[in-house]
Amino acid sequence: MDIFKVLTRGASVKKETGLKAKAADYSVINEKNANHKKDNNEGQITKELDFFRNKRIISEVENGKEEKTRENDLNEGDDSGSEDGDIIKPVITNAAEASALRKSYKGNVSGSDVPLPIGSFEDLISRFSFDKRLLNNLVENGFTEPTPIQSECIPVALNNRDILACGPTGSGKTLAFLIPLVQQIIDDKHTSGLKGLIISPTKELASQIFIECFKLSHKIFLEKKRPLQVALLSKSLGAKLKNKVISDKKYDIIISTPLRLIDVVKKEALDLSRVKHLIFDEADKLFDKTFVEQSDDILSACKEPALRKAMFSATIPSSVEEIAQSIMMDPIRVIIGHKEAANTNIEQKLIFCGNEEGKLIAIRQLVQEGEFKPPIIIFLESIARAKALYHELMYDRINVDVIHAERTVLQRDRIIERFKSGELWCLICTDVLARGIDFKGVNLVINYDVPESSQAYVHRIGRTGRAGRSGKAVTFYTKQDSVAIKPIINVMKQSGCEVSKWMDKMAKLTKREKESIKNGKAHTERKQITTVPKTDRIKRRRQQEMIVASKRRKNEGL
Ligand SMILES: Nc1ncnc2c1ncn2[C@@H]1O[C@H](COP(=O)(O)OP(=O)(O)OP(=O)(O)O)[C@@H](O)[C@H]1O
């Protein structure tokens, strides 16, 4: 299987045309790893099939492993033990089946009156009069069975309950909130106006969610044959709403970043008072110091007494849990896997580079050793550093581009498209792309700079190993990262990675170190990115100054 197919298959934006033609020849970089590449991709396919845990459970049962599960169930005082073979069916009808299913994906669901998870999308038809057109849209987009987070969250939302959900990166959280939302809009077809609001921290992610929602609501009609209307609150839509060119009553669901939404709401161009479903994607980001004020304003503007709230993320620190508990009504908490861990499909590695120069050498070494297998994303801590690395890698003739907040929306969109289509092999970026963005076949994530927190690390490396595929993440660190690297080692431990004894010892954080990480003091200023020795840099600068001075003298006629 060609790596490009993996990269683009089932991508949010279908870009099948001309892909094969565009398929660049990765062997330029990876010639000596051709065989390995094949094996690797075959592994991905196997994993991919395994993604649908129902099939896995059934095959486990067929292989006789169900006895163990059953035994565990009984040991835990479960009243399971259904007589008919314990095969977990696509339809979950009782607590015993639910418990076995949850055990299979390490699901921890708590709260009052927790509904049964669904075993299949068909399960929704009998339990919730699920819309056939919506089911059709799911199947047409290749979603035939729910992922664990979807199995749990869809019934919770359809029971109109508040949710706090935490599941691994790339595990399908977007559909976990979109599927019930679209169904609820269909159920509420008699009232018009904005009913569903989804908040995302970045434009890129908002746009991705919009595309998913658009595909899901395709050909769904509400009362009087009116199509279900979804909108991305872009700059131009914001302007149209403010100038009353478009009525805010037109849309059923809006997806927006916090700042843009607040801007339009404050100009009274968008009425949120009838919103019934409010979803915060990447909730921990939306409730940290960057966005908490705006998120609070949004909550205050949604005045509907029966407002249902949902928060989703791959990382939910306890501070955010506290906020969630305070703003939600009797929420159900859904945790899939370990809350502090990264996606277990990702092979994580640390590389000690000594100093800044060592990092560039390490990249070149990865290239030489055939480890630099595109598509690759490289994360850096600042715009200046991202730009500098971009220039360095350009000189190395690596097919690379860079995304950061100083690039225009159009530039950012184009680069993302080129990366998705396989035209671009290596994407350098700041944390602007760390969360939510779904590039399917990313092989390797490089943390050129140690991320500022364990959460940032989980999200960054989560750009690989998505939807059941495998991936690799490499983090460079230097002497100056001796404290900042500790939380990363702890995430590796929680995710089941092998951690050597000395690393384990090193990972222990003192109280003072914890404080310094919390206050952002564990990251000291880094040296400039360049492999040119300091003496040469001074020489070059002097030469440059001499040229400028001579030009000036010429102009002045001296
Ligand atoms: N039921 C499903 N069957 C097959 N693929 C699915 C299913 N649900 C989602 N996916 C695919 O899985 C990928 C990851 O989904 P999504 O972007 O929602 O992950 P996420 O959990 O939100 O990740 P992150 O935490 O990084 O935001 C997407 O490409 C999506 O199309």
- Report pLDDT digits (tens) over 193-221: 999 999 999 999 999 999 999 999 999 99
Task: Tell me the mean pLDDT in the region 17-24.
Answer: 30
Is the distance from the beta carbon of residue 436 to the nearest atom of ligand 1 less than 6 Å? yes
Order of all β-strands in the sheet with 277-281 = 107-110, 332-336, 163-166, 308-313, 277-281, 196-199, 253-256, 230-232
Q: Where are the beta strands (DSSP E) in 63-212?
A: 107-110, 163-166, 196-199
Atom of ligand 1 nearest to the CA of 438: 17
Shared domain for 245 and 388, answered yes or no, is no
Mean pLDDT of the chain: 83
* pLDDT at residue 90 in the model: 76
Is the distance from the beta carbon of residue 466 to the nearest atom of ligand 1 less than 6 Å? yes
- Report pLDDT digits (tens) over 36-95: 334 344 333 333 323 223 334 334 433 444 434 333 433 333 333 344 444 444 789 999
Percent of the chain clearing pLDDT 90 (strictly above): 64
Shared domain for 303 and 400, answered yes or no, is no
Which range in 15-19, 81-85, 376-380 is most confidently predicted, on average pLDDT?
376-380
Is the distance from the beta carbon of residue 148 to the nearest atom of ligand 1 less than 6 Å? no
Peptide bond preceding 375: is omega within 30 degrees of 0, i.e. cis?
Answer: yes
Atom of ligand 1 nearest to the CA of 169: 25
Contact 517, 487 (CB under 8 A): yes
* pLDDT at residue 558 in the model: 64
Shared domain for 433 and 367, answered yes or no, is yes
- Report pLDDT digits (tens) over 216-241: 999 999 988 889 999 999 999 999 99
Contacts of 260 (CB under 8 A, 6+ apart): 233, 234, 235, 238
Contact 380, 389 (CB under 8 A): yes
> Does residue 547 lie in a domain region?
no
CA angle 169, 297, 178 (to 5 degrees): 35
Tokens of 214: 């658009």
Is the distance from the beta carbon of residue 458 to the nearest atom of ligand 1 less than 6 Å? no
Q: Which of 274, 304, 336 is at the close of a domain?
A: 336
Name the domain count of the chain.
2
- Report pLDDT digits (tens) over 246-274: 998 999 999 999 999 999 999 999 999 99
Is the distance from the beta carbon of residue 10 to the nearest atom of ligand 1 less than 6 Å? yes
Q: Give the side-chain half-sphere CA count within 13 A for 346.
A: 36
Q: Which of 336, 358, 377 is at the close of a domain?
A: 336
Atom of ligand 1 nearest to the CA of 138: 1
- Cα(138)–Cα(102) distance, rounded to whole angstroms? 23
> Does residue 505 lie in a domain region?
yes
Pocket test for ligand 1, best of 171, 209, 280, 334 (most atoms within 8 A of CB): 171
Query: What is the Å distance from ligand 1's center to 507 Cα?
Result: 31
Task: Tell me the mean pLDDT in the region 490-511.
Answer: 85
Shared domain for 222 and 204, answered yes or no, is yes
Query: What is the Å distance from ligand 1's center to 417 Cα?
Result: 18
pLDDT band at 532 (very low <50, low <70, confident <90, very high): low
Tokens of 162: 């508040």
Shared domain for 180 and 245, answered yes or no, is yes
Structure-model confidence comparison of residues 412 and 41, the more confident one: 412
* pLDDT at residue 551 in the model: 85
Shared domain for 476 and 376, answered yes or no, is yes
User: Which residue, among 276, 297, 308, has the nearest Cα to 160 in the 3D structure?
Assistant: 308
Supply the DSSP string of 358-419, one letter for each residue: HHHHHHHHHHHTT---SSEEEE-SSHHHHHHHHHHHHHTT--EEEE-TTS-HHHHHHHHHHH
Which range in 59-73, 385-399, 498-512 is most confidently predicted, on average pLDDT?
385-399
Q: Pick the residue whose CA is nearest to atom 1 on ligand 1.
A: 146
Atom of ligand 1 nearest to the CA of 149: 21
Is the distance from the beta carbon of residue 169 to the nearest atom of ligand 1 less than 6 Å? yes
> Does residue 239 lie in a domain region?
yes
Query: What is the Å distance from ligand 1's center to 77 Cα?
Result: 34
> Does residue 36 lie in a domain region?
no
Q: Provide the β-strand partners of residue 221.
A: 227
Q: What is the dihedral of CA 399, 404, 408, 410, to 10 degrees?
A: 50
- For residue 120, count CB atoms less than 10 angstroms from its CB and return exposed for 0-12, middle for 13-18, buried for 19 or more: middle
Query: What is the Å distance from ligand 1's center to 312 Cα?
Result: 13
Atom of ligand 1 nearest to the CA of 52: 3
Shared domain for 370 and 296, answered yes or no, is no
Shared domain for 350 and 296, answered yes or no, is no
- Cα(253)–Cα(247) distance, rounded to whole angstroms? 14
> Does residue 376 lie in a domain region?
yes
**Could you tell me the pTM of the whole model?**
0.80
Q: Pick the residue whose CA is nearest to atom 9 on ligand 1.
A: 172
Long-range contacts of 51-55 (CB under 8 A, 24+ apart): 51/147, 51/467, 51/468, 52/144, 52/145, 53/104, 53/105, 53/147, 53/148, 54/88, 54/90, 54/119, 54/120, 54/145, 55/145
Atom of ligand 1 nearest to the CA of 212: 31
Secondary structure letter of residue 472 according to DSSP: E
Shared domain for 277 and 326, answered yes or no, is yes
Structure-model confidence comparison of residues 440 and 72, the more confident one: 440
The torsion angles phi and psi of 107, rounded to 5 degrees, stand at -95, 135
> Does residue 446 lie in a domain region?
yes
Shared domain for 262 and 322, answered yes or no, is yes
Is the distance from the beta carbon of residue 464 to the nearest atom of ligand 1 less than 6 Å? no
Shared domain for 182 and 208, answered yes or no, is yes
Pocket test for ligand 1, best of 15, 175, 316 (most atoms within 8 A of CB): 175
| Backbone conformation region of residue 158, classed left if phi is above 0, alpha if psi is from -120 to 50, else beta | alpha
Query: What is the Å distance from ligand 1's center to 478 Cα?
Result: 34
Atom of ligand 1 nearest to the CA of 147: 1
Chain position carrying tokens 């990382």: 315
Q: Pick the residue whose CA is nearest to atom 4 on ligand 1.
A: 143
**Segments forming the whole domain that contains residue 158:** 95-336
Q: Which of 318, 336, 354 is at the close of a domain?
A: 336
Q: Give the side-chain half-sphere CA count within 13 A for 355.
A: 5
User: Which residue, among 460, 478, 461, 467, has the nearest Cα to 526 in the 3D structure?
Assistant: 478
- Cα(245)–Cα(238) distance, rounded to whole angstroms? 10
- Cα(230)–Cα(251) distance, rounded to whole angstroms? 6
ipTM value for the complex: 0.99
> Does residue 57 lie in a domain region?
no
Q: How many CB atoms lie within 10 A of CB 337?
A: 22
Query: What is the Å distance from ligand 1's center to 550 Cα?
Result: 59
> Does residue 255 lie in a domain region?
yes
What is the 3 state secondary structure string of 84-117? CCCCCCCCCCCHHHHHHHHHHCCEEEECCCCCCC
- Cα(362)–Cα(473) distance, rounded to whole angstroms? 14
Q: Provide the β-strand partners of residue 334.
A: 109, 165
Amino acid at 441: G
Is the distance from the beta carbon of residue 143 to the nearest atom of ligand 1 less than 6 Å? yes
Residue 228: CATH number of its domain: 3.40.50.300
Q: What is the dihedral of CA 110, 113, 119, 122, to 10 degrees?
A: -140
Is the distance from the beta carbon of residue 170 to the nearest atom of ligand 1 less than 6 Å? yes
Shared domain for 126 and 233, answered yes or no, is yes
The torsion angles phi and psi of 538, rounded to 5 degrees, stand at -65, -45
Q: Pick the residue whose CA is nearest to atom 13 on ligand 1.
A: 467
Specify the 3-state DSSP secondary structure of 550: helix
Q: Is the pLDDT of residue 498 over 90?
A: no
Contacts of 441 (CB under 8 A, 6+ apart): 3, 4, 5, 6, 7, 8, 9, 375, 469
Secondary structure letter of residue 227 according to DSSP: B
Contacts of 102 (CB under 8 A, 6+ apart): 108, 109, 117, 152
Contact 321, 164 (CB under 8 A): yes
Secondary structure letter of residue 222 according to DSSP: -
* pLDDT at residue 534 in the model: 63
The H or E element containing residue 351 is strand 346-354
